[in-house]
Amino acid sequence: MAPMRFGAVPLLGLAFAAGAVDALSFLSLGEVFTANMTGNIVLLGLALGTGHTEHALGSGLALAAFMTGLAAGFFLLKGAGDRSLRPLAGLTGELALLVAMAVGWAAQTPRPALIVLSGTAMGLQSAITRWVCDATVSTTYVTGTLTSMAGQIIGPPAARSGARWPLAVVLALAAGAVFAALALRLYPPAAPLVAPAVVALATSWWAIRDWGRGRPLLGAGGR
């Protein structure tokens, strides 16, 4: 199962960070999603249909940034070098982008730049979790994860125990959104720090647990 190969703490931490990023982008960057592209594409369609050009530009920019992050992530993961270190390098890149976003937020950088940084980071995260988890669980959207969970629940008894991990990912993503929204309301300067802090924790936990002990980061089932 995905947590066995990726680790429960990194998996849930990345889902929490994605929820926080989406809450922040929707509430403060012009009602766009930079992690959940299903919702973002719907928002793009609504903006085009209603003639809200500004919203359409934001959603389109988020989509383009996310695709750029995906492409960069898969290029990195399938590239040359030690394959056990590639996901760690990708998570480090994601963390750098989220830190840059937090700095830009504090410096009152224009929204489009923050959308690009956020969307690219979430694209990177999606590529990494897809690579490590074999598409069984996603940390940036819940439709496929809920489908996987439902299939396990109604499947044979041996498979039902695996449903707890997709459920945990969904709850972590929702918790991240709640936490970021509360931070934005209670102390706005802290809101953009939520995602990079959690991604830093998840990356460090994974590196210490596996790489630090001399085991490949992808686990026994890695590519």
Report the distance separating Cα 3 and Cα 215, nearest Å: 16
Which residues lie below 8 Å from residue 222, measured CB to CB, with a gap of 6+? Answer: 5, 83, 84, 132, 216
Give how many domains the chain has, as a whole number: 1
State the number of CA atoms in the 13 A half-sphere of 130 facing the CB: 16
**78 pLDDT higher than 60:** yes
- 55-73 mean pLDDT: 94
Looking up tokens 């707890």 gives 164
**189 pLDDT higher than 70:** yes
- Answer whether residue 45 is part of any domain: no
Cβ pair 118, 61 in contact under 8 A: no
**67 pLDDT higher than 70:** yes
The model's pTM: 0.85
- Answer whether residue 56 is part of any domain: no
- Answer whether residue 153 is part of any domain: yes
Report the distance separating Cα 100 and Cα 122, nearest Å: 13
**220 pLDDT higher than 60:** no
User: Of residues 95 and 141, which shows the higher confidence score?
Assistant: 95
- Answer whether residue 126 is part of any domain: yes
**1 pLDDT higher than 80:** no
Full residue range of the structural domain in which residue 119 is found? 2-30+65-213
- Answer whether residue 84 is part of any domain: yes
7 sits in which H/E element: none
Nearest to 192, CA basis, from 25, 46, 4, 15: 25
- Answer whether residue 43 is part of any domain: no
216 sits in which H/E element: none
Report the distance separating Cα 58 and Cα 100, nearest Å: 19
- Answer whether residue 113 is part of any domain: yes
Phi, then psi, of 112 in degrees rounded to 5: -55, -40
> Letter for the amino acid at 25?
S
Tell me the per-residue pLDDT of 21-39, one tens digit each, with 9 for 90 and over.
999 999 999 999 999 998 8
- Answer whether residue 57 is part of any domain: no
CA 164 to centroid of chain Cα atoms? 19
Which band of pLDDT confidence, cut at 50, 70 and 90, is reported for residue 222? very low
Give the CATH number of the domain where residue 186 resides: 1.20.1250
